[in-house]
Amino acid sequence: MLRRLNLNQLLFVTHMLLVLWLVGSFSYTRYASEWSGKIASEVRLANSSMQHVLKDVSFAARGLNYNYVATQHALAGYDETPNLFYFEVIATSKNEESYNVAWAKDVGELWNTEALFEQNDELEISIKGLRERLITASEEDKFKLTYVLDRLLDKQDRLSNHIRLENLFGNIYFEPDFTHSDYVLDLDSCLLYLKLPLLNSEGSYLWAVFDATSLTQFKIDTIFLLAREAFIAILFSIALIVWASRRIIQPIHRLAESMEGDIDSIDVDSIPDQHRSDELGKLAQRYASLIRRIQNQMLGLRRQSLFDVLTGVYSRFAYETQANLTLESSWKNDRWFGLIIIDIDNFKAYNDEFGHATGDEALQAVAKAFRTSINPHSDKVYRFGGEEFVIVCEKSSASGVSSLAELLRTNVWLKKIQHPNNGGLGFVTCSVGVSMSRSSDREVSLKALFKQADLALYQAKDSGRNQVVIAGQRNAIIESDDDLQGNSHKEHRHCQTEQQDKTNENKEPVV
């Protein structure tokens, strides 16, 4: 658990956050300014170096001239352009024909990016036809056909070379998205992409790829320089903050230490500096008084939330927070979990007869009977509301749960609280519904168990009250583990008769 910050630490942390924010803001602003300036400078240089290329390709594209941009002089000019790796022209000639060419520094060649295998197939057919014609042609025609064939073969070689270069570099360089700017910087690949419109050609443009290694190195150098300056500024700030902390916070440091921990664990009498008459003493005295009041209020609230004020047993809130823990504990310990719902019979009639004050006394007596019946180490009694109680227990066997339910019912009867309006029974009685679960029934939830016990309680009420009904059986108490584990769905109507006989022997009417 993290220890609460004392005032020295709080002052240090808040001032350090302020220093870090200021240093970080200034450093970032300076970095952003220098970085954007450097990028703009590199873009201007790249733009300037491409002007001669732009002029050549604009002229060639307008006239659909491929030879003009592929001369040795032109290729040498492209190769001498600083940091240029690749460029591609996407244009339309004055005759509205497409003009797409590309150049790569790695091969020093320029090719038509629209060269297709279909064109190569057409040339192959034409070459094959000429060769067939040469076989039967006259000497005069052979000279002409041979010339045409040589031209076609040369064109086929150039077309194959264009296709090869496009397949190679078309998979290396891809045109980026220039929607928001005429350049794109890819620092991961150390490449700068630049887009330039062609001269006197609407919608035609050239995009080029430049080496951006210098930009990457500039970024690293700038970050290192700013980090070093920020580190020095932070060290100086730390020294200043430590000096201010010792000068200002030391007098109340001991009081801050006394505030650590939970309120319940604070010893009010040990809070320091309460004897002082200055502002610090007044602060300590008021703090001690506040802690004392809070502790008293928390004690009262905790008791009110966990215990029922009238009966002294656990409250419904306690059931909501504790019952699931008991269920999980029984599963962990491989024990039976029992949920017992008890409702006092005809209690409204009792209140109507004797008044609510006497009714409260009867509730207290019934709750006391429950408390004396349970094992406080494994069982808990909750007042669920009005005259309804819930008992949660852990037992080694199913019969232990059912025996406890019968004991609870019997002990209420033995209180012999007069109740003339209780259906001829004469005394205060209760009806009991029981549900059980063991570790092998982990898929059964507490909510489902409560619903089962509540249904059993209604069965007990419908069968005449003052009896125990186990969930899944009507008007019967399970008497053995075998019944619970294998025969829980059999009818036990004869048990009601046996229960009646035992009641008569004890002069205890059981319906």
pLDDT at residue number 144: 73
Q: Which of 164, 188, 202, 230 is nearest to 31 (CA)?
A: 230
Give alpha helix (H) positions in 108-172.
Answer: 117-136, 139-169
pLDDT score at 249: 67
Q: How far is the C-alpha of 401 from the C-alpha of 415, rounded, in Å?
A: 22
pLDDT of residue 506: 38
The tens place of each residue's pLDDT in the chain, 511 residues long, gives 345 666 677 777 888 888 889 999 999 999 999 999 999 999 999 999 999 999 988 888 888 888 888 888 888 999 999 999 999 898 887 778 888 888 888 888 888 777 654 555 666 677 677 666 777 777 677 777 776 766 766 666 666 666 777 777 766 788 899 888 899 999 888 999 999 999 877 788 999 999 999 888 898 999 999 999 999 999 998 888 887 776 566 657 667 677 776 777 777 777 776 777 767 677 778 888 888 888 788 877 777 778 888 999 999 999 998 999 999 999 999 999 999 999 999 999 999 999 999 999 999 999 999 999 999 988 999 999 899 999 999 999 999 999 999 999 999 999 999 999 998 889 999 999 999 998 778 788 999 999 999 999 999 999 999 999 999 764 444 333 333 333 333 333 333 333 333 333 333 333 2
Question: CB-based contacts of 4: which residues, under 8 Å, 6+ apart?
Answer: 259, 260, 261
Query: What pLDDT shows up at residue 500?
Result: 37
DSSP 439: G
As a dihedral over the C-alpha atoms of residue 245, residue 249, residue 254, residue 255, rounded to 10 degrees, the angle is: -140
CB 460 within 8 A of CB 467: yes
Token code pair at residue 473: 């059986």
Q: What is the pLDDT of residue 313?
A: 93
pLDDT of residue 161: 66
How far apart, in Å, are the Cα atoms of 137 and each of 140, 322, 379? 8, 108, 116
Distance between CA atoms of residues 126 and 45, nearest Å: 48
Q: What's residue 430's pLDDT?
A: 96
3-state secondary structure (DSSP) of residue 425: coil
User: Tell me, what's the pLDDT at 507?
Assistant: 35
Looking at the DSSP assignment, which residues form a beta bridge with residue 437? 337
Q: Which CATH architecture has domain 316-505?
A: 2-Layer Sandwich (3.30)
d(CA 324, CA 301): 22
The partner residues of 415 in beta bridges, in order of sequence, read none
Residue written as token pair 């200002």: 248
Contacts of 310 (CB under 8 A, 6+ apart): 360, 363, 364, 383
- Decide if 12 contacts 237 (C-beta within 8 A): no
* pLDDT score for 384: 92
CB 206, CB 100: distance < 8 Å: no
